[in-house]
Amino acid sequence: MRVTTKGQVTIPQDIREKLDITPATEVDFIEENGRVYLVKKTGGMIKKRKFMELRGIATVKMTTDEIMALTRKA
């Protein structure tokens, strides 16, 4: 595996699947005794998951323009 000129590497698919690393998953690199470890951050996706659970459940039937008009009135 090679590092690109931008310092990027591709995480092999089997590793991504095993660790459930998907787009937007946050990871850290930890250096220890001359070795570098890739570690999946915990909690980084919690807020996004909570938002996704709520997505599409609004009951108000308003257009985007109507909502924007309400939020801009002050």
What is the average per-residue pLDDT within 64-69?
88
Question: Which has more confidence, 17 or 50?
Answer: 17
Can you give the length of the chain in residues? 74
Judge contact between 44 and 29, C-beta under 8 A.
no
Burial group, residue 58, by CB count within 10 angstroms (0-12, 13-18, 19+)? exposed
Residue 29 tokens, joined: 């690199």
CA pair distance 54, 27, nearest whole angstrom: 25
What dihedral do alpha carbons 60, 62, 64, 68 form, nearest 10°?
Answer: -90
40 pLDDT higher than 60 = yes
74 pLDDT higher than 60 = no
48 — phi, psi (to 5°)? -65, -40
